């Protein structure tokens, strides 16, 4: 799908709840995720592990993002009001990102919303600032194997 086609998709975007039929698409999204965007996993799970994860319903709501009948990404909201979003196309415009973000917020009213991102993901960081999100924390991790605690 080229960028010009994506510009015209604004009115035909919809969110459908994830089902077992979406596991392969979600696995491919995970497999092709940019390392600069990743914060949630250290190594790629097996497909069976992934299916088990999806079927455990780990999020409050999890949607596949469609343009007409084509799956173009996924978006979820956690029980802690955190939004996770990922598109299969790297050349999506901020206009499309904004539309999808507004759709999940409208479908899932909360008192606040948070999005955790990799600090190296400058494109998403700038987008979120422009959407009105404010930086509230920096999070650090110490791997268990080197923990001194």
Where is pLDDT greater, at 42 or 47? 47
Q: What domains appear along the chain, each with residue ranges and CATH number?
A: 3-146 (3.40.630.30)
3-state DSSP of 44-84: CCCHHHHHHHHHCCCCCEEEEEEECCEEEEEEEECCCCEEE
Instruction: State how far the alpha carbon of 55 is from the alpha carbons of 7, 22, 73, 145, in Å.
Output: 33, 10, 18, 29
Task: Please give the pLDDT value at position 2.
Answer: 47
Name the pLDDT band for 120 (thresholds 50, 70, 90).
confident
> What is the structure's pLDDT at 121?
85
What pLDDT does 90 receive? 62
| CA–CA gap between residue 110 and residue 47 (Å, rounded) | 33
More confident residue, 143 or 125: 125
Q: Taking 60 as the threshold, does the pLDDT of residue 138 lie above it?
A: yes
Q: What value, to the nearest 5°, has the Cα angle with vertex 61 and ends 59 and 62?
A: 85
- Is residue 4 predicted with pLDDT exceeding 50? no
Residue 60 has a pLDDT of 96
Can you give the pLDDT at residue 11? 63
pLDDT > 70 fraction of the chain, expressed in percent and rounded: 85
The pLDDT score that the predictor gives to residue 21 is 97
pLDDT interval class at 134 (50, 70, 90): very high
Provide the total of helices (H) and of strands (E) in the chain, helices listed first: 5, 4
Residue 116 CB contacts under 8 Å (≥ 6 apart), including other chains: 39, 82, 84, 139
What is the C-alpha to C-alpha distance for residues 10 and 19, in angstroms, rounded to an integer? 24
Q: What is the pTM of this model?
A: 0.83
Q: If you compute the radius of gyration of the chain from its CA atoms, what whole number of angstroms results?
A: 16
């Amino acid at each position: 799908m080229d960028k010009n086609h994506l510009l015209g998709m604004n009115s035909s975007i919809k969110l459908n709840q994830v089902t077992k039929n979406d596991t392969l698409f979600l696995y491919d999204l995970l497999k092709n995720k940019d390392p600069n965007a990743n914060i949630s996993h250290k190594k790629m799970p097996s497909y069976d592990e992934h299916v088990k994860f999806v079927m455990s319903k780990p999020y409050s709501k999890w949607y596949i993002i469609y343009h007409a009948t084509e799956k173009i990404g996924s978006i979820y909201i956690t029980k802690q009001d955190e939004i996770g979003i990922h598109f299969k196309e790297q050349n999506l415009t901020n206009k499309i990102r904004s539309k999808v973000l507004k759709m999940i917020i409208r479908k899932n009213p909360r008192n606040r919303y948070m999005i955790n991102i990799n600090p190296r993901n400058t494109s998403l960081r700038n987008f979120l600032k422009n959407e009105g999100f404010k930086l509230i924390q920096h999070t650090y991790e110490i791997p268990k194997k080197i923990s001194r605690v």
